Amino acid sequence: MVLDGDAVREIQVKSRDAASSWVWGAFKLTGGILSELHALWQARQCRDEYVGTLVNAWLAAGGRATGVRAGSAYVDTGTLHGYRAAMALLGAEDAGEGAQGRRLSLGHPKGDETRPVP
């Protein structure tokens, strides 16, 4: 993800030479913005394989998004290995082991507070 301050300029999808070490993992949006994204996806003949490319087109058309720094661990839960790693991280927190530096967090839209994932 490429930021200008806290404004998202671009989500770099499957980029080997990403300009940022940020990893995007979640969206919080209104129903209205979801409708805008759906309409844009249809207008683009449903060609966006990844949500990130659709969001990039939405940003280029004047959409605005804010990046929130949250969490300290990233795992790709779309893979079996990543799912197991996520379960291990969460299990370590439940047991009180190694929680320091391994906290998975959810960010609030204003970025002023994070809370641990239950």
Q: Which residue has the higher pLDDT, 23 or 56?
A: 56
Average pLDDT over the chain, rounded to an integer: 78
Q: Binning pLDDT at 50, 70 and 90, where does residue 76 land? A: confident
Model pLDDT, residue 101: 46
Q: Report the candidate in 29, 99, 103, 15 with the shortest Cα–Cα distance to residue 64.
A: 29
Q: Is residue 15 over pLDDT 60?
A: yes
What residue ranges do the domains of the chain occupy? 2-60, 80-116
Rounded CA-CA distance 43/24 in Å is 25
List pLDDT tens digits, range 38-49: 999 999 999 999
